[in-house]
Amino acid sequence: MLSLSLDILTTAAILFTVATGLLIVFGVMKIVNFAHGAFITLGAYAGLVASQLGLSPWFGLPLAFIAGAACGALVERFVVRPLYGRPLDAILATWGLGIIIGELLTLGFGREVQFVGSPLSGTIDVLGEAYSVYRLFLVLAALIVGGGFAWLLGATRLGLATRAVIMNEDLARGLGINAGWVRFITFSLGSGLAGLAGALITPLSSVDPNMGVPWLLNAFMLVMVSGASLGALLAASLVLGGAQVIISSMFSPILGGLTIVVLAALLLRIRPKGFAR
């Protein structure tokens, strides 16, 4: 029971970390970044490179963030910006980008599955139950990411401008806010977060050029049911992630893997606003 609760907590933390970048891009730009999965993969390879260079595994995290953000900045400038006003085409183009990034990674690193060591190994005793230290660290990481975002949005000038663009872009522009710049920063930041999330999850799984796709799907569905609210995303990650853990352990991991997408689609059919207020 305790182990199950910890699994739910850590799974929700991972889902939240993976989906935050997608959420913020969706909130500001009203498009779904299908290259998010590829940015996750990119971040994972950044972690791999760091470990191959013999650097501390911790060093992989900032590297992954920078790789994702830089790539995102280029993508925003040259692909997403010209498609502003054609949201479905923007979604398609980001999917094409995902393919390109995946193939470039394959060309560079080969197709095979690779492994990255965990910066924190072993288990820790939680109320008499031995539990992976790294998984618990991911809860902390999710709190830092979520808290950092909340601070950025709530306490900075850029955050205020971003919230203004989310609520009413026309009005924000009329007050002198450069919505194009806000979109650029948001997309870069969201992509950077995807990279960071990729580096964070690799010690739990493995690295391969297509590893981002399943994560993309879950993150996508979580964002759909959360609107543009971080709080709703947290709730959705806990509820749907919890359902995933329970169904995986009680029935089968394959059904568990479907839980989020199916429940989210049904939820949206019944309540289009999802978890958002």
| Site for other proteins contains 32 (CB under 8 A) | yes
| Site for other proteins contains 157 (CB under 8 A) | yes
Contacts of 271 (CB under 8 A, 6+ apart): none
Instruction: Give the nearer residue to other proteins in terms of CB position, either 100 or 150.
Output: 100
Token reading at 259: 């839980």
Q: Is 13 exposed, middle or buried (0-12, 13-18, 19+ CB in 10 A)?
A: buried
Distance CA 242, CA 12 (A): 7
Instruction: Give the nearer residue to other proteins in terms of CB position, either 123 or 168.
Output: 168
Instruction: Give the nearer residue to other proteins in terms of CB position, either 152 or 173.
Output: 173
| Site for other proteins contains 97 (CB under 8 A) | yes
Pick one of 1, 127, 155, 254: the residue that binds other proteins (CB under 8 A): 254
Number of residues that bind other proteins (CB under 8 A): 55
In the range 36-65, which residues lie near other proteins by CB under 8 A?
none
| Site for other proteins contains 163 (CB under 8 A) | yes
Pick one of 66, 164, 204, 243: the residue that binds other proteins (CB under 8 A): 164
| Site for other proteins contains 91 (CB under 8 A) | yes
Instruction: Give the nearer residue to other proteins in terms of CB position, either 107 or 113.
Output: 107
In the range 69-88, which residues lie near other proteins by CB under 8 A?
79, 82-83, 86-88
Pick one of 85, 122, 128, 176: the residue that binds other proteins (CB under 8 A): 176
Q: How far is the CB of 219 from other proteins (least distance, A)?
A: 12
Contact indicator for 141, 17 with CB cutoff of 8 Å:
yes
Pick one of 120, 133, 213, 246: the residue that binds other proteins (CB under 8 A): 213
| Site for other proteins contains 144 (CB under 8 A) | no
Q: How far is the CB of 272 from other proteins (least distance, A)?
A: 7
Contacts of 130 (CB under 8 A, 6+ apart): 123, 124
Pick one of 55, 92, 140, 150: the residue that binds other proteins (CB under 8 A): 92
| Site for other proteins contains 222 (CB under 8 A) | no
Which of the stretches 113-121, 128-136, 156-164, 233-241 binds other proteins when contact is defined by CB under 8 A? 156-164
Residue for token digits 């502003």? 84
| Residue 126: strand pairing partners | 129
Q: Which residues bind other proteins (CB under 8 A)?
A: 32, 79, 82-83, 86-89, 91-93, 95-97, 99-100, 103-104, 106-107, 157, 160-161, 163-164, 167-168, 170-180, 213, 217, 220-221, 224, 252, 254-255, 257-258, 261-262, 265-266, 268-269, 272
